[in-house]
Structure 1
Amino acid sequence: MNKQLKYRHELKFFINQHQFYLIRQRLKSLMSQDSNVGATGEYHIRSLYFDDVSNKALHEKLGGIRDRVKYRIRIYNVQDNVIHFEKKIKFNDYIAKVKEPISRATYEAVIAGNFEILNEPDKPLFMELYQEMKHKLLRPKVIVDYVREPYVCPSGNVRITFDKELRTGLHATDIFNKDLQAVRAIDENLIILEVKYDEYIPEYIRAAIQLEGLNRQSASKYVMCRKFLKFNTWEDY
């Protein structure tokens, strides 16, 4: 474990619409909404995930490897004012994230295959990405698209999110395409509940979401979208 990174707990669950309404109703009086939400109490997330020539990230997840990383470019509400290149790190039951902001021009260059633009020795994440792209053929693989309803609590630094309408784009890599023909990647009745926290979850929040009664899942949106493409296109891995 890299001691310089901030690792957090992350729990994921599949819940149905009925469970969503019950849990959300309880949380509304206990937690605050994230300050980034719009009028609907939600925001839209679209990520472009990368993998190497051997699909290492995909196969490690499917193979149950506990320590692994994923790379992605993430935007919000299909806008280009905030664009991040991110590395998500999984270590045992902990997660950490390293990210760097990028410009729209840098995004366009990377998508066009000009990874030399990331050759910046003073930015370790860019250098790591540059080496992965140059030597392991790290390339865009799939778009992951969903709507998030987030709640936060300073005690324990708890963040609970409901991720809805998980979709992916067939053969698509342009995350700024407002006309992206995104298609459902999971059953429309399912919502992904994510619970993230530092050291502990306050007991009143644990009781409100009835944590022990939920069915914990290994719910990787990246893998779900890749699997959807495999079974609905000619993609092979």
Structure 2
Amino acid sequence: MDTVYKNLKFRHELKFLINRHQYYIISQRLKNLIQHDQHADRDGEYHIRSLYFDDIDGSALSEKLGGFRNRCKYRIRIYNMGDQIIHFEKKIKQGDYIAKLKEPLTREMYDVILNGDYEALRQPDKPFMMELYREMKHNFLRPKVIVDYVREPYVCANGNVRITFDKELRTGLHATDIFDRSLRPVPAMDDQLIILEVKYDEYLPEVIRTALQMEGLRQQSASKYVICCKYLKLNSWEDQ
């Protein structure tokens, strides 16, 4: 195994596509059981915007659509439209487990990367940065699509559980700058639908499993990246 992956913590990840009625019932139960993530605002939410990358072969998209059990995605992520926290991330999926690598970026680093200068990533003492540098130089990893949504997060220490409701999924038409204030993201799916994600380590406490009523939900491959890519492709065809 590559040294980059040696200390990675892999976790379970379950995804469900639910409607507003299901969301209301489940979220009300969770509010009586566990707490919101400490970074959430007074409404229990925060805003996420990510810029996803793919290589010259479109590997991230094609492997997801092809059902590959081992795959990865690269993205730059910000919160609440601020530039105090900018992360370049790699989400890794191996079978039924997921893990994440990430490195912080400064706003200056982000700007030069977006302008096509990848030398800022060439940091030999940081394996993940060097991986990104090689992907940019040799596999032509490039920005592909903006994914924008509101997240309502809950956490539980037992089992290291994290439950999130991702709402108002949007994308930017032909845009790749996540800090563009003139960007007006458009809905990528029905606003009545919400993506429920459940992440945990070794076990999911029974009380939480009962609150989620998981036996009544159908697990789905609800990839926000794929949903936004499909929306962009459909609208590109309509524009022709």
Tell whether the 8 Å contact from 1:73 to 1:85 is kept in structure 2 after alignment.
yes
Question: Structure 2-normalised TM-score?
Answer: 0.96
Match of 1:85 in 2: 88
Write the distance in 1 (CA, Å) between the matches of 2:34 and 2:9: 23
Write the distance in 1 (CA, Å) between the matches of 2:120 and 2:141: 15
Match of 2:32 in 1: 29
Tell whether the 8 Å contact from 1:66 to 1:90 is kept in structure 2 after alignment.
yes
Matches within 5 A, 1:28-47: 28-47=31-50
Given the alignment, which residue of 116, 121, 124 partners 2:124? 121
Write the distance in 2 (CA, Å) between the matches of 1:102 and 1:178: 20
Unaligned 5+ segments in structure 1 are none
Match of 1:76 in 2: 79
**Cα deviations across residues 61-101 of structure 1 (Å, max 9, x unaligned)?**
00000100100000000000000000100000000000000
Tell whether the 8 Å contact from 1:48 to 1:143 is kept in structure 2 after alignment.
yes
Write the distance in 2 (CA, Å) between the matches of 1:139 and 1:9: 29
The answer to whether 1:166 aligns with 2:169 is yes
Secondary structure in structure 1 of the residue aligned to 2:164? strand
Match of 1:220 in 2: 223
Find runs of 4+ consecutive structure 1 residues off by over 6 angstroms. none
Amino acid at match of 1:168: T
Identity of aligned residues (%): 68
Q: CA deviation at 1:180?
A: 1.3
Superposition RMSD in Å: 1.1
Question: Structure 1-normalised TM-score?
Answer: 0.97
Identify the range of structure 1 (171-180 vs 18-27) with the bigger mean alpha-carbon deviation: 171-180
Secondary structure in structure 2 of the residue aligned to 1:155? coil
Write the distance in 2 (CA, Å) between the matches of 1:70 and 1:80: 22
Match of 1:5 in 2: 8
Write the distance in 2 (CA, Å) between the matches of 1:227 and 1:186: 10
